[in-house]
Amino acid sequence: MDKTINQKAWFLVLPVFLVVAFSAVLPLMTVVNYSMQDTFGNNQFFWNGVGWFKELLDPSTDLGGRFLASLGRNLFFSAVILAIEVPLGIVVALSMPREGWSVAACLVILALPLLIPWNVVGTIWQIFGRPDIGLLGYVLNHLGFNYNYVSNEVDAWVTVIVMDVWHWTSLVALLCYAGLKSIPDAYYQAAQIDGASRWAVFKAIQLPKMNRVLLIAVLLRFMDSFMIYTEPFVVTGGGPGNSTTFVSIELVKIALGQFDLGKAAALSLVYNLIILIVCWVFYTVMTNAGTERKAVAQGEPAAEPKPAAAPKPAGVLKPKEGVA
């Protein structure tokens, strides 16, 4: 087929190109620029090459030590909240009613925490947990537990984790519920006929059918928890000591507290890169598992090359694409 050659068509791309240039590329390049330089104020900059990056990845330096420690805390935090929120979300979704007015009631109640702004959530828990005036803190102390999130590291961690679970388990539950609702009744009836136990129904029907939404839930929760800033900052301010200082909090301290633009720029680039890589791996695994299954379900020979799941980084930022 002959195609008309018309180079003017490039102009159609121009508006998007401009918007992306100003909203993403230029700011990003500014950060890259900063990350290569050092400044002592007065808007004077000195070339530093990859010095900041070397320092960042070297635990013996101050910058590297702080970064790697906060990175470790962040990874631990993400792992813990995923380990709690995903199973809990599934359990909540499974115990939700399937029809009647109570469905709407459940959905509204579940959606409530999701609608509260981050800093308000932080404030709620900050006050809730205070030993002097907070309901939770007061009751715990009254019962004989020496609970104080300002002075005790474990208490601070528990508070931040419980707060995140309170805030975000709903999201996992709602996603799982959507997955569960899409299972036709015939599956449950067939399982009944086949004499399947409750556990067998979960393992053979519900879990496989929730597979896709669960991966999306994990992806979303990982990204969000890895970038968490507002809530722990409002509750603990990163303390006591540095015990709840996550990477984003460290970043703000360096960038705005110390005004070390070079270090902060290098840190934010590496931070960004880690999130991209982890999400990319997730996304690739997800889509590949999905396309393979789909291709075969349509009766195509398994040997046929899969549609190249070229995972553009942009795809990572739009995990909803995976739902389709």
Q: Which residues bind other proteins (CB under 8 A)?
A: 184, 186-187, 189-190, 192-197, 200, 203-205, 207-209, 293, 296-297, 299, 302
Would you say 178 or 296 has its CB closer to other proteins? Answer: 296
Would you say 5 or 297 has its CB closer to other proteins? Answer: 297
- Considering the complex, what minimum distance in angstroms separates the CB of residue 134 from other proteins? 46
Would you say 181 or 203 has its CB closer to other proteins? Answer: 203
- Considering the complex, what minimum distance in angstroms separates the CB of residue 299 from other proteins? 5
- Considering the complex, what minimum distance in angstroms separates the CB of residue 201 from other proteins? 10
- Considering the complex, what minimum distance in angstroms separates the CB of residue 112 from other proteins? 34
Question: How far apart, in whole angstroms, are the C-alpha atoms of residue 245 and residue 73?
Answer: 8
- Considering the complex, what minimum distance in angstroms separates the CB of residue 302 from other proteins? 7
Main-chain phi, psi angles of 131, to 5 degrees: -65, -25
- Considering the complex, what minimum distance in angstroms separates the CB of residue 200 from other proteins? 6
Would you say 49 or 299 has its CB closer to other proteins? Answer: 299
Would you say 293 or 318 has its CB closer to other proteins? Answer: 293
Would you say 191 or 279 has its CB closer to other proteins? Answer: 191
Would you say 1 or 193 has its CB closer to other proteins? Answer: 193
